Amino acid sequence: MNCLRSLEFIRRIDGRYKKFGLATIIIHPPEWDFEKKMGNIADAVKRYNIDFPIIMDKNKKILKKLRINFWPAQILIKNRKIVYKHIGEGNYKKLEYAIMGSLNIKSKRMFYEEPIYGKFQTVYCGKRKKGAAKFHNRLRKLKFGVNYVDNNWMQKREYIKSIRSRASLTLSTKGKMANFVAESLNKRPAKITVKLNGKYAKKLVVCRPKTYSIGKLKRNAEKMEIISPRNVAIYSFSFK
Domains plus CATH for the chain? Answer: 2-102 (3.40.30.10), 123-239 (2.60.120.260)
Q: Is the pLDDT of residue 79 over 60?
A: yes
Give Cβ neighbours of residue 34 (< 8 Å, ≥ 6 apart): 40, 183, 209
pLDDT at residue 90, rounded to an integer:
87
pLDDT at residue 89, rounded to an integer:
86
Q: In Å, what is the CA distance from 183 to each residue of 42, 203, 204?
A: 17, 15, 12
Quote the CA–CA distance of 123 and 231 in Å, as a whole number: 20
Peptide bond into 72 cis (omega under 30): yes
Q: Is the pLDDT of residue 56 over 80?
A: yes
pLDDT at residue 139, rounded to an integer:
62
Q: Is the pLDDT of residue 101 over 60?
A: yes
Q: Is the pLDDT of residue 215 over 70?
A: yes
Are the C-beta atoms of 183 and 204 separated by less than 8 Å?
Answer: no
Closest to 236 (Cα-Cα) out of 150, 186, 169, 136: 169
Quote the CA–CA distance of 142 and 126 in Å, as a whole number: 19
